[in-house]
Structure 1
Amino acid sequence: MPEGREASGDGAAAPGRPDAERLARAALTRIVEPGDERAGRWLRTHGPAEVLRHLTAYDGSPQTLPGMTAARLAGYRMRAAVADPEGDLEAAARAGGRFVVPGDPEWPGQLDDLGDARPVGLWIRGAADLRLWALRSVAVVGARACTPYGAHMAATLGAGLAERGWVVVSGAAFGVDGAAHRGALAAGGATVAVLACGVDVPYPRGHAELIGRIAREGLLVGELPPGTHPTRSRFILRNRVIAALTRGTVVVEAEYRSGSLVTARGAQRLGRFTMGVPGPATSSLSAGVHELLRGEGVLVTDAAEVAELVGEIGDLAPVRRGPVLPRDLLGPVAAAVLDALPRGGTARVRDVARSAGTSADEALARLYELHSLGFVEREGDTWRSASAPRPNDDTRRGGT
């Protein structure tokens, strides 16, 4: 049996039909916390229906499930007493949502890389297919209290990636997250918000309009059932889903203890690409990003560089270089002859040839070439750089 698949073979039913396995998983999203690896091992070994039975019909032995204790079971049973999977599925449907479980056609297979920390199931709002969108997605995350520079870079990355056909994934938080979502939407692209609460709960409240728009034009994804509110730990645990769901994670501004770095490190552990946008060396909001870049993170400055890293062969960022100056087009001998002319005043051909390390005939030929191109001027038997000041220029400007 492949790793991460249950012996029960759940997920055979369509997402809209609440069979026993789907109902059990829906109930378990209200009983166990996201990322509970102990519960994940139980699911892998016994299947969701059997795990739910053990948690709701305790037979007196704490060893019924490996690692179970009486205290732990009491906590699970308190939550199980109020679990109403049918009601949660109906509430999700009323909000335009659905519940997707492992084995469904829409389930993103890359989440299985999380092993026993894989989500029990995903509550989703939005018309798009999460599995298809996740195949070509990039996470853009960062500080909530970002600077105007951070907001600008996040929005620019979101828009640029969307224009290139990439799905922008983030957490709908203030700061970098919101800017990335807005950038993707402004470009008419696709965006996914992974929430640390129910997909029918607009959090943060200040982003209610943005979250509503993502539900209409993109996707809202969460591990928690309808009506559930976030906690500090759920934000951290949510980040593992963002990391696993996407091809790579870009961090835009993050302090040393930022949750965004949790996402980046999770991406590294999963073998995903990890990228960072540099900022001022004196900014504490960029300190975490710079530390990431000192390790395995890759420095990126725009969407083209991100796409080059996470995309297919041929998705190359343009070669960047400074402007080409007319002097850059000169041949090596002509450039040496030009350099041999004094910064001020004139020089004879023999002196130019000696300084340039060439023959007098070659120096004279190159001087005529440079003259035709406007680099030098001839004064009788001597030559001077066209950019050098003439002896009487200061007198003419000073007007003595």
Structure 2
Amino acid sequence: MTGTEHPDDELLGRVFLSRVVEPGDEVAGRWVREYGVGEVVRRLREGAQALPGVSYKRWDGLRARGLRAEPDRDLAVAREAGVRFLYPGDIEWPGQLDDLGDARPLGLWVRGRASLRMWALRSVALVGARACTEYGAHMAATLAGGLAERGWVVVSGGAYGVEGAAHRGALGSGGATVAVLACGVDRPYPRGHTQLINRIAEQGLVIGELPPGDHPTPSRFIVRNRVIAALTRGTVVVEAAHRSGSLVTARAAQRLGRHTMGVPGPATSGLSAGVHELLRGDTVLVTDAAEVVELVGDMGELAPERRGPVLPRDLLEPRARRVLAALPGRRAARADEVARGAQTTEDDAIARLYELRSLGYVERHGDSWKLTRQAMMSVHAGRSGC
């Protein structure tokens, strides 16, 4: 906003541009940065000389849109639907969206009572396939529920499949969730998620760049993904085929320096092929909410150490474990043979064998020693990694 523009003019100007300019238009974003909202609006309305970077044909198309734009009416319709308009400089504007540079939204239409700026500070994106498997839906809901229980906001796109499961998982845990739509926030899309999106608006936030009543298009879904990526600390892809739009979100997150994470699936599943491709690069493999929080959270928010069950033999002193491991599985052995296998002296091996006998691991047969049946099971389990 230039020094001569009134806040109301800035608001009306950005609402006007949200009706005229497509989301993510970097040329228009550069106009706003270089000339200011007021000058861009004036040129579009008055038919003055075209701004640089577009053809005359495109300029005429933008001007035609501008002739039909009614920002006062859009604001009135929005207020009637319980929708507010945020723009850069507003106290509720999330500063991380500024990382998008000239592709930053001109403004955001918001349904819901919470502060978008505060919620975005501790948020994670969960995205994935629309035609997901039961596994994908389960993992999305479980991850979202776990994140919500840890006080994290789950951000997604409100679509069928993984995204709907993520929103439901967060809501089901009594947590916070944000749906970023590729259409006007007053007209839920997809229609089959009308009830879900209305519930998100009541308990969370529904946001979008497009003015009231605007419809989604394939290109709008793609550019919408940059907002999901920029708004959050990291993006988790649950299931995605090679051409999934979820990969666009993940790659946008990588360009912005955000964390990217992927949930692995079966190697034979085409719906996990895109995730696996990400995991071959810089994307981090995650399997639960604790691992996500360890990556995106504050210092000290560590996931629990993953390890198999502790076997009784794990509690033995290291030299005793070496002697136990040196005993043959199916026959008795003399102490000197055990000592060689354990790389110790015969006297030390004998001392350890007596210790192991007292614990029920070995039994003596004359001058030889043999594993007990119980010990044989323990040793074989340890050797096989079961």
Q: Same fold judged by TM-score > 0.5?
A: yes
Match of 2:382 in 1: none
Deviations 1:225-282 (A, max 9, x none): 1111100000001001111111111111111111111111111111111111111122
1:343–1:388: 8 Å Cα contact kept in structure 2?
A: no
Distance in 2 of aligned mates of 1:220 and 1:8: 32
Match of 2:379 in 1: none
Question: Structure 2 counterpart of 1:37, which letter?
Answer: E
SS at match of 1:168: strand
- Count of residues paired in the alignment: 376
Question: Structure 1 counterpart of 2:19, which letter?
Answer: R
Deviates more, 1:359-368 or 1:213-222: 359-368
Question: Structure 1 counterpart of 2:2, which letter?
Answer: A
Q: Does 1:7 align with 2:13?
A: no
1:345–1:388: 8 Å Cα contact kept in structure 2?
A: no
- Looking at secondary structure, tell me which structure has more helix per residue: 2
2:28 to 26, 39, 46: 39
Question: Structure 1 counterpart of 2:64, which letter?
Answer: M
Match of 1:242 in 2: 228
Distance in 1 of aligned mates of 2:47 and 2:338: 99
Deviations 1:258-314 (A, max 9, x none): 111111111111111111111112211111111111112111111111111111111
Match of 1:396 in 2: none
Distance in 2 of aligned mates of 1:330 and 1:383: 18
Give how far 1:342 is off: 3.1
Match of 2:78 in 1: 92
Match of 1:301 in 2: 287
Give how far 1:157 is off: 1.0
1:109 to 95, 102, 114: 95
Q: Does 1:286 align with 2:272?
A: yes
Distance in 1 of aligned mates of 2:283 and 2:140: 17
Note the residue ranges of structure 1 that are not aligned, 5 or more in a row: 1-5, 14-18, 391-400
Q: Does 1:24 align with 2:13?
A: yes
1:326 to 308, 312, 316: 312
Match of 1:272 in 2: 258
1:8–1:47: 8 Å Cα contact kept in structure 2?
A: no
Question: Structure 2 counterpart of 1:58, which letter?
Answer: G
Deviations 1:141-191 (A, max 9, x none): 111111111111111111111111111100000111111111111111110
Question: Structure 1 counterpart of 2:204, which letter?
Answer: G
Distance in 2 of aligned mates of 1:104 and 1:309: 30
* TM alignment of 1:361-376, pairs within 5 A: 361-376=347-362
Match of 2:42 in 1: 53
Distance in 2 of aligned mates of 1:382 and 1:67: 90
SS at match of 2:68: coil
Identity %: 69
Question: Structure 2 counterpart of 1:132, which letter?
Answer: M
Match of 1:143 in 2: 129
Match of 1:211 in 2: 197
Deviates more, 1:206-215 or 1:376-385: 376-385
2:361–2:374: 8 Å Cα contact kept in structure 1?
A: no
Q: Does 1:152 align with 2:138?
A: yes
Distance in 2 of aligned mates of 1:325 and 1:74: 76
Give how far 1:34 is off: 0.3
1:277–1:300: 8 Å Cα contact kept in structure 2?
A: yes
Question: Structure 2 counterpart of 1:161, which letter?
Answer: L
1:259 to 245, 264, 281: 245
Deviates more, 1:296-305 or 1:229-238: 296-305
Distance in 2 of aligned mates of 1:357 and 1:295: 43
Match of 1:394 in 2: none
Query: Considering only CA atoms, is the larger Rg found in Structure 1 or Structure 2?
Result: 1
Question: Structure 1 counterpart of 2:269, which letter?
Answer: S
Match of 1:395 in 2: none
Q: Does 1:83 align with 2:72?
A: no
Deviates more, 1:42-51 or 1:234-243: 42-51
Distance in 2 of aligned mates of 1:356 and 1:88: 81
Q: Does 1:192 align with 2:187?
A: no
Q: Does 1:181 align with 2:167?
A: yes
Q: 1:135 and 1:340, CA in 2 relative to 1: closer, same or farther beyond 3 A? A: closer
1:161–1:307: 8 Å Cα contact kept in structure 2?
A: yes
Deviates more, 1:334-343 or 1:103-112: 334-343
SS at match of 1:81: helix
Question: Scaled by the length of structure 1, what TM-score is found?
Answer: 0.89
Question: Structure 2 counterpart of 1:223, which letter?
Answer: E
Distance in 2 of aligned mates of 1:388 and 1:137: 51
2:141–2:167: 8 Å Cα contact kept in structure 1?
A: yes
Q: 1:299 and 1:342, CA in 2 relative to 1: closer, same or farther beyond 3 A? A: closer
Question: Structure 1 counterpart of 2:371, which letter?
Answer: S
Note the residue ranges of structure 2 that are not aligned, 5 or more in a row: 377-386
Give how far 1:51 is off: 1.1
Distance in 2 of aligned mates of 1:320 and 1:389: 25
Distance in 2 of aligned mates of 1:133 and 1:388: 56
Deviations 1:204-243 (A, max 9, x none): 0111111011000000000001111100000001001111
Give how far 1:95 is off: 1.2
Distance in 2 of aligned mates of 1:238 and 1:357: 64
Question: Structure 2 counterpart of 1:164, which letter?
Answer: R
Q: 1:35 and 1:358, CA in 2 relative to 1: closer, same or farther beyond 3 A? A: closer
Distance in 2 of aligned mates of 1:269 and 1:317: 26
Q: 1:46 and 1:345, CA in 2 relative to 1: closer, same or farther beyond 3 A? A: closer
